[in-house]
A and B are shown apart, each in its own frame.
Chain A
C-alpha cells in the first residue's frame, strides 16, 4: 500500500515539476516603455546560406541599434499559410512577415498588413525594379517591400547539346518557342527526351508562360474580374501539348513531377532540357554527379519574353506597435548589399537593381542569364484578381493537370477555367 502511494505521489509530483518547468515564450514581443523596442521578424529562408545571411544581417542590426532589437523567427513554406492566418486572426502575428506577393491582396483586404506607401524611403523606391513594386501595389497602396524574384529558364545537359551540335543562345538573342521545339526534337532519340516539363500544380507556371503570347487569363470590367481563354491563352498550352503527344519530344512521365523529382532523369541523360525557375541552379549544383556539365538557357521568346514578377516580400503587420521602427529595419535589411547576400543564399534574382551588380551575385554560375531574366518581369493580370488563389487551387491546377495527362481537350479546359472558374470569382466580386 505504501509503495503504491509512493509511486502515485511521485508521478503527481513529477507531473507538477515538469509542468512548472514548462517554458513560455512570454519574453518575446515589444519591450516595455523604458526598454528597447523588440521587433519580431518571421523569415521563410530555407537554404542554409540564406538562413545564415538573414541571421548575419539581424545580428549586425542589433549590434548597431541597441534601441531597436530584432528577434528572428524561422517559418517554413509548407505551413506558413495556416500559421499566418491564425496568427493574424488571433493578434499574435510577427511585426515583419516574409511571404510572397500573390497573397498580399487577400491579406490587405482583410486588414492584416500595413499600407507602407508613405514609409518607403525614396532611395529604396528608386533602387527596386518597377515590375517588383507593381506586384506589391494594390489600389495605389504599397503593402510590402519586394526583394527576391524568380524567372523561368531552361537548364540543359551540355554534353547532349554538344553532341547534337546545338549552340546555347545568348541572353540578348533567346530561342523562340519554334526554335525550342525544333531543338527538342533534335535532342530526342531512343534513350533521351528533348525536354521534361514538370507540371505538378502547374497553374502559376502556365499563366506565366502564357504571358509570352499576351495571354492574360483575366479581364476586368467595372471592378469585377472574370476568366477568359482565347487564342493568346491557348498558345503555350498547345505548344507543350504538341511536344508531349505530337512530336513526342517531351517526356510524359515527367508531367506529374515537381521539386527535385526530375533530377535523376536529367543527370542520367534521359531528359536533355529541364524548364525550371532560376533558383533551381542550387539544386543542380548540390546533387549533380561529378563531371556533369550543364548550362542555363535564357527564357523563351514568344511575342515577348514577359513573365510575371511574383517576388518574395516582407510586409509590416497592421497590428505592429512599431511600424516606423519596422520600416527602418527593412530599409537596412533590404539595402543593395544585403539583398545581394539574400539573393545569393536562395539563388534568386534580387529586386534591387544595384544588388544585381554585386560581385557576390555576378560570380554565380550563368549569372548573365539570371540578370537578364529580371528585366522582363512585369505584373500579370492574374496578380490583381481577388479569389485567384481559390480559382487556381480548385479549378486551374486540377484541370490543367488533366489536360496535360491527355484526359480532357483544350476546349474542355477552357470551359472549366472560365465557367467553373468564374463561379468562384463571382463570390469575390460581390
Chain B
C-alpha cells in the first residue's frame, strides 16, 4: 500500500506537469514566434528558442498598426464594462437570491435563456438599434453592448455566491442591532468579494477579447480595439504576417495577465470556513 502511494504521488505530479505544458505550449510558441526572424519561421525543423532572436517583430507591429492606441481603447472599454457590469449585478443578484418571488424566478429563467442567443442572431438588430440611438461607432455604444452581454452570466454567478452566504449571518447581525444597510456593507459585501472579483474578471476578459461586436459597431480607426487591430495582420487566403502578429498578440495578452495577477489574490474561496456552527 505504501509502495503504491510512493508511486502515485510522482505520477500525479507528472500528470500535472504534462497538463501545464499542454496548456502553456501555445503561449510558449507565441512568445517564441514573436522573437523569430521570418526565415526561422519557415524552417522545416522549428525550434522553441530562436537561434537569432530579434525585436524587429515588435518594431514592425507598432509601426504598421496603431497598437498603443488600440490597447488604450480596449483598456477603457473593457475596464468600464467590467466596472458597470459588477455595479449593476451586485444589487440585482442579492435581490434575486434573497427575495424569492415569481418575479425573481422569472428573472432567473430569463437570464438563463438570454445566454442561449448566439452572437450572430442579434448582431444586425443590435446594430440597427444602436445606429438609431446615435451610438453606432462610439465606445459608449460598445460598452453598453458588453455590459448587456456580460451581465446575465455575472448575475448568475453572483447570485450563487449570495445564496452561498448563510442567511443566519444576516439574522445574527440583525439581532445584534445592525440595520439592513450595515448588514449588507459589513457582513455580506466582504463575503461577496471573491464573487465580485470573478464576475469582474469575466466581464473584463470577455470585453478584452471580443471581436465580432467591435467589428460591426466601430468604424473609425481611432476608436478600434486590439482584436480589430490584430486581425489586420492576416491577409487574403489565410496568409499572415506571423512575426508582427505574434508580437502584437503577446503585447495584447499582457494587460489581461496583469489585471488577473492583481485581482487573483481575492479570488479565493473558503472565507466562510467556521462562520456557522451547524
B60 CB to closest chain A CB (Å) equals: 8
Q: How large is the interface on A (under 10, 10 to 19, 20 to 34, 35 or more residues)?
A: 35 or more
Interface status of B145 (Cβ within 8 A of chain A): no
Stretch at the interface among A13-21, A324-332, A391-399: A13-21
| B76 near A18: Cβ-Cβ < 8 Å | yes
Please, which residues of chain A bring their CB within 8 A of the CB of B232? 46, 74, 76
Task: Indicate if B185 sits at the interface (CB-CB under 8 A).
Answer: yes
For the complex, is B44 an interface residue (Cβ under 8 Å from A)? yes
A264 at the interface (CB under 8 A from B): yes
Which residues 215-234 of B have a CB within 8 angstroms of A?
A: 215-216, 218-223, 231-232, 234
**Cα-based distance from A87 to B222 in the complex (angstroms):** 18
Which one of B41, B83, B220, B234 lies within 8 Å of A287 (CB-CB)? B41
Contact A25 B236 (CB under 8 A): no
Instruction: Choose among B39, B42, B87, B220 the residue that contacts A25 (Cβ–Cβ < 8 A).
Output: B220
Q: Name the B residues within 8 Å of A260 (CB-CB).
A: 42, 239-240, 242
Q: Is the CB of A23 within 8 A of B44?
A: no
In the assembled complex, A22 has its CB within 8 A of some CB on chain B: yes
Which A residues are in CB contact (< 8 Å) with B44?
Answer: 264-265, 267-268, 270
List, in ascending order, chain B residues with CB within 8 A of A270's CB.
Answer: 44
Given that A15-B84, A48-B64, A287-B42 are contacting pairs, would A25 and B137 also be in contact in the complex, using a CB cutoff of 8 Å?
yes
Interface centre among A28, A76, A286 (most CB of B within 10 A): A76
Smallest beta-carbon distance B42→chain A, Å: 4
Binds A, one of B8-16, B102-110, B121-129: B121-129
Q: Give a binary string over B106-147; 1 marks a CB under 8 Å from any A CB, 0 the rest.
A: 000000000000000001100110010000111110010000
- Shortest distance between the CB of B153 and any CB in chain A (Å): 20
Given A11-B87, A18-B80, are A24 and B64 also a contact pair (CB < 8 Å)?
A: no
What total count of A-B pairs have CB within 8 Å?
138
Asked if B140 and A24 make an inter-chain contact with CB atoms under 8 angstroms apart, the answer reads: yes
* CA A270 to CA B44, docked complex, whole Å: 9
Tell me, rounded to whole Å, the shortest Cβ–Cβ distance linking A49 to chain B. 11
In the assembled complex, the Cα of A181 lies from the Cα of B167 at a distance in Å of: 80
Decide: B139 and A12 in contact? CB cutoff 8 A: no
Alpha-carbon distance between A24 and B218 when the two chains are bound, in angstroms: 9
Note all chain B residues with C-beta closer than 8 A to A25.
137-138, 218-220, 222-223
Contact in complex: B143, A86 (CB < 8 Å) = no
Among candidates A4, A19, A73, A78, residue contacting B143 with C-beta atoms closer than 8 Å: A19
* Contact string against A for B residues 52-63, beta-carbon threshold 8 Å, 1 for contact and 0 otherwise: 000000001000
Q: Pick the residue among B87, B136, B219, B231 that contacts A79 (CB under 8 A).
A: B231
Total interface residues on B, CB under 8 Å, equals 51
1/0 per residue, CB under 8 A from B, across A279-300: the answer is 0000100111110000000000
A124 at the interface (CB under 8 A from B): no
Q: A28-B220, A86-B124, A287-B41 are in contact. Are A78 and B234 (CB under 8 A)?
A: yes
Tell yes or no: A125 within 8 A of B by CB: no
Is A15 within 8 A of B138, CB to CB?
Answer: no
Q: Does B79 contact A (CB under 8 A)?
A: yes
In the complex, how many angstroms separate the beta carbon of B146 from the nearest chain A beta carbon? 12
Q: Does A189 contact B (CB under 8 A)?
A: no
Q: List 18 A-B contacts (CB under 8 A).
A: A11-B87, A14-B83, A19-B140, A25-B218, A26-B137, A46-B234, A46-B235, A73-B221, A77-B234, A77-B236, A78-B231, A78-B234, A79-B215, A79-B231, A90-B136, A259-B237, A270-B44, A287-B41
* Chain A interface residues (CB < 8 Å from chain B): 1, 4, 11-12, 14-15, 18-19, 21-28, 44, 46-48, 51, 72-74, 76-79, 82-83, 86-87, 89-92, 94, 200, 258-260, 263-265, 267-268, 270, 277, 283, 286-290
Q: Which 5 A-B pairs have the closest CB atoms?
A: A25-B220, A46-B235, A22-B139, A25-B137, A268-B44
Q: Which B residues are closer than 8 A to A by beta carbons? A: 38-39, 41-44, 46, 60, 64, 73, 76-77, 79-80, 83-84, 87, 123-124, 127-128, 131, 136-140, 143, 182, 185, 189, 211-212, 215-216, 218-223, 231-232, 234-240, 242
Q: A87-B219, A92-B136, A264-B44 are in contact. List 13 more A-B contacts (CB 8 A).
A: A4-B185, A4-B189, A12-B87, A15-B80, A19-B140, A23-B73, A24-B138, A24-B220, A74-B232, A78-B231, A260-B239, A268-B43, A277-B237
